[in-house]
Homo-oligomer: A and B are copies of this chain.
Amino acid sequence: MIRVGILGATGYAGAELARILSGHPEVDLTLLTSRQYAGKGFDEIYPSMAGVVRLTCSPNEIDLICEKADVIFMALPHKIPMSIAPELIGRGKKVIDLSADFRFKNIEAYEAAYQPHTAKELTEEAVYGLCEIYHEEIKNARLVGNPGCYPTSILLPLVPLVAEGLVDHSTIVADAKSGVSGAGREATLTTHFCEVQESFKAYKVAVHRHNPEIEEVLSRVAGEPVTLTFVPHLVPMIRGMLSTIYVTVIAGAGLKEIRECLNDYYAPHPFVRIVAENLLPDTRNVRGTNFCDIGFRLDTRSNRLILISVIDNLVKGAAGQAVQNMNIMQGIEQTRGLFNTPFPV
């Protein structure tokens, strides 16, 4: 059994980690930390967990963490992870960070979007934990930067096609839509039920911090700088993310080549499902699961490919992919503890 701790366990991503890890057959969940709720039972914060997760929240203390756990998930606000990670790594722990702190190789891009980086010595070693793409690198990682939810939903359909040169990567537009849980558990006017229900809106148009994260990965894959236009929207639902991606297809490539490329790339990876030709993805089909479903159509008049991907933003977009990273790092089957059957409704 792997002894596992979750730092920041009472936010939505942290609690989702607790959900998945408490049922993982190879995990001994030993530690949940929370600055705000230290000393309280986890099931006082989440009464759904009564009788299921019986831990008390601990403070975020390094010695305690190192004593209790060997694999550590950090579901903390950006900036805190980079202040803790060096010590944890130094003491031989494996770390999976759900913040943006270790997602970037390009520190300037990170610092432009976030703040000064205080653990630059670790960014080169850190592996970008997009499991299906960086599977090999993750195997030997000590430190994984778990991808953002938008980047996950946009990169999974694009990377194989960009790698194969089937699309013109200078023409990418990504129109993405997310459920409200992506905004976290903090009570704000933006997440007030009466402001969200019966409402649909765009936000951070073309300036979202996930933009440079996506571009860094696409540039690495393409071997040259890639920029894209990225617009996120808020959907009145708890979970789910759908990205509609527009990109021009290279002359000569058609639906057949696109399908083959995606099918081949994802054949070894059961969490990515290329949907049947007559279907289109729907966020409800992946709700509560670690799946990413991908479908597509070609607008033949403009030769514009329309890729559509769906994930559960809290699972494949956060906690589920984090556990998948742990599985790969520990040499376990990547689906272990994660392959729950989806809800029909």
Instruction: Select the stretch in A106-114, A274-282, A323-331 that faces chain B.
Output: A274-282
Residues of B contacting A288 in the complex (Cβ-Cβ under 8 angstroms): 288, 343
Contacts A187-B189, A288-B288 aside, 12 further interface pairs with beta carbons under 8 A come to A16-B343, A52-B341, A175-B246, A185-B194, A191-B194, A193-B193, A193-B197, A194-B238, A199-B240, A201-B242, A201-B283, A206-B306
Across the interface, name the chain B residue whose C-beta is closest to A180.
Answer: B193
Decide: A299 and B229 in contact? CB cutoff 8 A: yes
Decide: A173 and B47 in contact? CB cutoff 8 A: no
A-B contact pairs, 30 of them (CB 8 A): A16-B343, A16-B344, A18-B341, A19-B342, A47-B279, A47-B293, A50-B293, A52-B339, A177-B177, A180-B193, A180-B197, A187-B192, A192-B193, A193-B196, A197-B197, A198-B283, A198-B287, A199-B237, A200-B283, A201-B242, A202-B308, A205-B297, A205-B306, A206-B297, A206-B298, A227-B302, A229-B246, A231-B244, A233-B244, A288-B288
Across the interface, name the chain B residue whose C-beta is closest to A14.
Answer: B344
- Tell me whether A126 is interfacial, beta carbon within 8 Å: no
CB under 8 Å from chain B, chain A span 165-202: 173, 175, 177, 179-181, 185, 187-189, 191-202
Across the interface, name the chain B residue whose C-beta is closest to A228.
Answer: B302
Residues of B contacting A223 in the complex (Cβ-Cβ under 8 angstroms): none
Residues of B contacting A293 in the complex (Cβ-Cβ under 8 angstroms): 47, 50
Stoichiometry, as copies per complex, reads 4
Decide: A187 and B185 in contact? CB cutoff 8 A: no
Decide: A238 and B193 in contact? CB cutoff 8 A: yes
- Tell me whether A78 is interfacial, beta carbon within 8 Å: no
Residues of B contacting A236 in the complex (Cβ-Cβ under 8 angstroms): 193, 197, 235-237
Decide: A227 and B18 in contact? CB cutoff 8 A: no
Decide: B189 and A188 in contact? CB cutoff 8 A: no
Decide: B48 and A343 in contact? CB cutoff 8 A: yes
- Tell me whether A15 is interfacial, beta carbon within 8 Å: yes
- Tell me whether A94 is interfacial, beta carbon within 8 Å: no
Residues of B contacting A240 in the complex (Cβ-Cβ under 8 angstroms): 198-200
CA distance in complex: A50, B184 (Å) = 30
CA distance in complex: A180, B342 (Å) = 19
Decide: B273 and A50 in contact? CB cutoff 8 A: yes
CA distance in complex: A188, B187 (Å) = 5
